[in-house]
Structure 1
Amino acid sequence: MDRKTLSIMGRKIEDRTILSRNDGVAAFPTITTLCESPTRAGILWAGTDDGNLKVTRDGETWKSVVENIPGVPKGTYVSRVLASAFDPATAYVAFDGHRSDDFNIYLFKTTDFGESWKAIAKGIQKNQGTLHIIREHPRNRDLLFAGGEFGLYCSFDRGEDWQELKNNLPRVPVDDIAIHPRENDLIVATHGRSVWILDSIYSLEQMNAKTADSALQAFDVRPATMWRMARTRDFESHDLFIGPNPPHGAIIDFWTKAKPDLKDVKISILDPAGKAIASIKPSTLEAGVNRVSWNMRVDRLAPPTPQEEAAAARLAAAGGEPPVTGGPLVDPGDYTVEISVASNKVSKKFRVEEDPRITWFSSADRAKRRDAINQLADMTKQAAGLRKTFTAADSSLTSLQNSWKRPDAPKVPDNIQQMAESLKKTLDDMRPLFSGRNFFEPPSPEERKAELSKPEPEFVLPPLMQRVSALIQALETFAAAPSESQLQQIALAKTAITDAGRNIDKLRDEVARFNDAMNAAKVPFVSVP
């Protein structure tokens, strides 16, 4: 058809009297979808907005195949045609009839270059809008995805049956779908709700009838990368906005046929030597596919304090990067997740990889850093034990002295009260070693008055646990062997913990004398672990 011979608004227009003959080209029949076969050169499929569907096997000669498709009204818009990545003769096509007030689902498949077509819309509700896109998984020919006016659908049997894929995806038009070939992420482009990503869809890729019939099944785990991300929150504060990101670390998916009881579930991470180094405790599990993640850290060597838990909650509520929980980071290597549910047990190997931008970190330097971190990890356990002893003595003495202030409390001998004050002073002198100021709570009027009365602020070292944690974090966030300064700081922290241990021993002796005196006066005594 020669466009220049067509009339415009019922009139033949000569070139010398028109400024733009091709105005209104959007209303002229055009190709709406074009797909080249990934398996054989020369095979192309094309669909148009006026209902034509053609195929060429040599890139030159085209053949119309739309007449072979049953049940589609003539002229229906071809929304998408997809050539299979596994078979040159296989293709899928979707039609969109809403422009003609037709909201039926038109989805078809051919295995003979379009000579015959089969409807494959079972499971997608009719008259629920139209389909815009169909996509085939690049490694599993049985796994298909389709996007329509009312959501996202998936099929595990090449389109024989479909089911809606929801999770937290809102009911929204899905205009396009992509599957990342390396990350195996499902990427969905919506109309009005931006782009949604379902990370690591190995569970969907590997789902089949055998898996669905098994009591417990683990899916492949995508390699976990130790990305090194810059922190800008300290500079931007509340101006920083970060959208939801995939879980940091290894994403672990597994199937349970029945809803498991959490007390029967055990998920462990094993190092390359097969030693259990971390455990994962999900808060909830359901029948079907469940997802947990491991942050590439060994289990925490000391339980968090209430103050640390509160700080972690504040960071989590602020959004962005999650707070650091657990013990030190592991080194890159091969690891195993072991999942037990009641009497069933499965495992999967996976790899932890270094940030690909880190190319200079030698094995020798990594071993030196690991040795330093291991030393600090042992010091963490020692410092935590000392802090536990100090906290127990401090809280017991405080409770005891408060009980003496009650109106109905019996009279306590003066020498016992003097010994209690002496013990309180000993504890106060040791307090900076085990607890720091909570900067999220304002100081009391007495504390503020004492601070203002000093000519200049006192320099106080951070508590032992904070010193050790800061050293571990400094080593983990820099890809190099420990510096001379860091080694010196490790030695100083070790000495400080040794000295603190001696002070705790003296504290035990003082508490023992105090308890002996209270026993003699028949006053309840303070217990120290």
Structure 2
Amino acid sequence: MTEDGGRTWKKISRFPGVPDMTYVNMIIASQHDENVVYAAFNNHKRGDFTPYLLKSTNKGKTWKSISSNLPKRGSIYSIAEDYENPDLLFSGTEFGVFFSVDGGKHWKQLKSGLPTIAVRDLAIHRGEDDLVLGTFGRGFYILDDYSTFRSFSEEKMKQEAILFPVKDALLFMESTRIGGSGKSFQGASFFTSENPNVAATFKYYLKDDIETLESIRRKKEDEIREEGGDIKYPSLDELRAQNMELKPKLQFTLKDNAGQVVRRLQKSPSSGVHEVEWDFRYSSSGPITESDVNKEEPAMGTYVAPGTYTVAMSKIVDGIETKLTESVSFNVVTLANVTLETQNRRDLADFQQKVSDLQSILRAVGNLIDDIENRLNKMRVAAKSVKGDNVNILSDIQDIQSRLNDIKISLYGDRLSSRLDIDRSLSISDRINRAVYGTISATSAPTQTHRDGYQIAREELEPVLREIQQIFKREIVSIENELDRVGAPYTPGRIPQLNRDSRR
């Protein structure tokens, strides 16, 4: 220990609870108090894996352990102190990294994305409030923006849930390399590393796991097993109740400054500190697909405009939503690094939303036409099996199919003319898609061509929707009623009939 810039030194060789000659793995001076110093000792080469982490508040004259609840067989390699909050400490151990918000009285492990590995070194990036880890044999890891931990406390950790303050979120269009993303054409040896997602990040804390019927049963079985008792196999009713129980979810509801819901994000609940990201997009207004059903959420839509938004956290258990936190306000801001930027981002976002909604209607109409044609094909086959006259039924089916063919030409263009290289006017989908893909990732204002294309497509789509509605709600139903009357085999959309012995 030196107090004169290294001219004279004082040796400190004994530390409470630490075996003599134990290796000093790291020692750091506090950035807040010249009297405070931290030291990490490592004795694993002698078969001693005890975590020795000490603190002195009088320039090394006396020391006390701050290892508290760190793993008993987890050697300590490194320690770091936050540059704003002296009570916020990080410790690298044999089994990962831990943090304390009370100067080392209590420690909690950081796990998300980090394997169980020795953390040999720690560094804090002040510009971004990032915690950088150097591990033994597993490379470097970075915890982005740990600043939320500064507002943590043991008292707050008794709450059921905490949604931490949100930094300004940067909205920008990410550039892409020639040839695609990642390494592109650079070759396998070209070093790349993934950038953080372009998103607003919400960090949250959940005190306890949300228990399910299955987790409660398994916990009881563990207790019986520890006591040496016999475990009873669950009854059929118990297993059925577990199987039918809805999985609990955490929901994060985002709203704009007018209070309108922008997006609902869901995540499986797990105790501890976690984060969820929002990609600055609305939910898609397009038709729900099987992929959406499997993910249990709609696809992403268009980008929002810069401005003030709020996020709130709730839990959904047995289908019932319960609020966990109050709303937290944050700002979505843009980077000033684009050319031809629009002067009105709200107008741009509104136009992107309008053309996306129109494209969604176009896709929905296409799905409906496919559904109608599928039903027509099956009704055509069913009509051939009736014993009576089927001419009128087949004629009505063919009439609808012919009209659908004309509608598809209006929507998607004449593919035969295109194949024969014959000039044709733009279809409805041509106009909509040009407006969508010309503005979807743009930061400049929509051109007049985009606006005109949208307006023309909207006007041309209106009569198509009316005719589709007439076909779907009346004419298809009329044919299905006739098929029921003549005793035709079942086709999708019809309710099966009993007592059909008197088929004609």
Q: With structure 2 as the length reference, what TM-score do the two structures score?
A: 0.74
Alignment of 1:335-346 (within 5 A): 335-341=309-315, 342-346=322-326
In the alignment, the residues of structure 1 paired with residue 71 and residue 55 of structure 2 have an alpha-carbon distance, to the nearest angstrom, of 18
The CA distance in 1 between the partners of 2:198 and 2:368, in whole Å, is: 36
2:57 maps to 111
* Residue matched to 1:401: 377
Equivalent residues of 2:249, 2:266 under 8 A apart: no
Which amino acid in structure 1 is aligned with residue 371 of structure 2? S
The yes-or-no answer on 1:88 pairing with 2:34 is yes
- Choose 195-204 or 386-395, whichever is displaced more: 386-395
Indicate which of 150, 165, 168 corresponds to 1:223: 168
Please name the residue that 1:488 is paired with: 449
Query: Which residue of structure 2 aligns with residue 391 of structure 1?
Result: 367
CA contact (8 A) 1:202 1:220 kept: no
Aligned to 1:479: 443
Contact 1:397-1:526 at 8 Å conserved across structures: no
Q: State yes or no: 1:253 paired with 2:203.
A: yes
Structure 1 alignment gaps of length 5 or more? 1-53, 314-323, 437-446
- After TM superposition, the structure 1 stretch with the greater mean CA deviation from structure 2, 405-414 or 390-399, is 405-414
Q: CA deviation at 1:410?
A: 1.9
Determine what percentage of the aligned residue pairs are the same residue. 25
Mapped pair 1:267 → 2:252:
yes
Cα pair 2:376 2:397 within 8 Å, conserved:
no
Change in CA separation of 1:347 and 1:65 when aligned onto 2, cut-off 3 Å: farther
CA distance in structure 2 between the partners assigned to 1:435 and 1:304 by the alignment: 21
Q: Indicate how the Cα distance of structure 1 residues 352 and 383 shifts in structure 2: closer, same or farther if over 3 A, else same.
A: closer
What amino acid is aligned across from residue 505 of structure 1 in structure 2? R
2:306 maps to which residue? 332
Q: Which amino acid aligns with 2:161?
A: L
Q: Would the aligned equivalents of 1:280 and 1:294 in 2 still touch at CA under 8 Å?
A: no
Larger radius of gyration: 1
1:434 to 1:338, Cα distance in 2 relative to 1, 3 A = farther
Please list, as runs of the form range in 1=range in 2, the aligned pairs for 1:101-250 lying within 5 A after superposition: 102-128=48-74, 130-232=75-177, 234-235=179-180, 243-250=193-200
Does the 8 Å CA contact 2:249/2:268 hold for their aligned counterparts? no
Tell me the CA shift for residue 499 of structure 1: 0.9
Q: Return the offset for 1:66.
A: 1.5
Rounded to whole Å, the distance in 1 between the matches of 2:408 and 2:182 is: 31
Aligned equivalents of 1:407, 1:223: Cα separation in 2 = 64
> Does 2:243 align with 1:282?
no
What is the SS of the residue equivalent to 2:92? strand
Which of 397, 402, 405 is the aligned partner of 1:428? 405
Whether the aligned pair in 1 keeps the contact of 2:24 and 2:42 (CA below 8 Å) is yes
| Secondary structure of the structure 2 residue equivalent to 1:503 | helix
Decide whether the 8 Å contact of 1:468 with 1:493 is kept in 2.
yes
- The C-alpha deviation readout for 1:101-157, integer Å capped at 9, x for no partner, is 5544322101111111112222233444x3221011222222211113332222232
Secondary structure in structure 2 of the residue aligned to 1:70: coil
The answer as to whether partners of 2:148 and 2:203 remain within 8 angstroms in 1 is yes
Letter in 2 for 1:287: S
Indicate conservation of the 8 Å contact 2:303/2:349, yes or no: no
Letter paired with 2:2: V
Give the drift of 1:68.
Answer: 5.2
Distance 1:72 1:235 in 2: 55
Amino acid aligned to 1:431 = K
- Give the whole-Å Cα distance in 2 for the aligned partners of 1:479 and 1:166: 38
Q: Deviations over 1:237-264 (max 9, x none)?
A: 9957865543431111223334458778
- Shift in alpha-carbon separation, 1:423–1:206, aligned structure 2, 3 A: same
Instruction: Please name the residue that 1:371 is paired with.
Output: 347
Counterpart residue identity of residue 395, structure 1: D
Partner SS, residue 300 of structure 2: coil
Report the secondary structure of 2:395's partner residue. helix
Q: Specify the code of the residue in structure 1 equivalent to 2:307.
A: G
Q: Cα deviation per residue 1:401-450 (whole Å; 9 max; x = unaligned)?
A: 224425983256223313322322322333366679xxxxxxxxxx9xx9
**SS at 1:405's partner residue?**
helix
Greater displacement, 259-268 / 73-82: 259-268
Q: 1:237 and 1:125 mapped to 2: Cα distance?
A: 39
Instruction: Give the distance between the partners of 1:61 and 1:505, measured in 2 at CA.
Output: 92
Q: Distance in 2 between matches of 1:80 and 1:258?
A: 34
Question: Which residue does 2:335 correspond to in 1?
Answer: 355
Taking structure 1 as reference, are residues 127 and 403 closer, same or farther at Cα in structure 2, changes over 3 Å only?
Answer: same
TM-score of the pair, normalised by structure 1: 0.70
Q: 1:64 to 1:460 in 2, by over 3 A?
A: farther
Greater relative CO (CA pairs within 8 A, separation 6+): 2
Contact kept, 8 Å, 2:434 with 2:450, in 1: the verdict is: no
Alignment size in residue pairs: 439
Cα offset, 1:496, TM superposition: 1.9
Match among 502, 509, 521 for residue 463 of structure 2: 502
Q: What amino acid does structure 2 have at the position aligned with 1:329? A: Y
Deviation at 1:100, TM superposition (A): 5.2
8 Å Cα contact 1:298/1:328 also seen in 2:
yes
3-state SS of the aligned residue for 1:353? strand
C-alpha displacement at 1:469, in angstroms? Answer: 6.0
Q: Secondary structure at 2:155's aligned position in 1?
A: helix
> Does the 8 Å CA contact 1:416/1:518 hold for their aligned counterparts?
no
Structure 1 vs Structure 2 CA RMSD: 4.0
1:86-108: CA deviations, max 9, x gaps? 21111101123345555443221
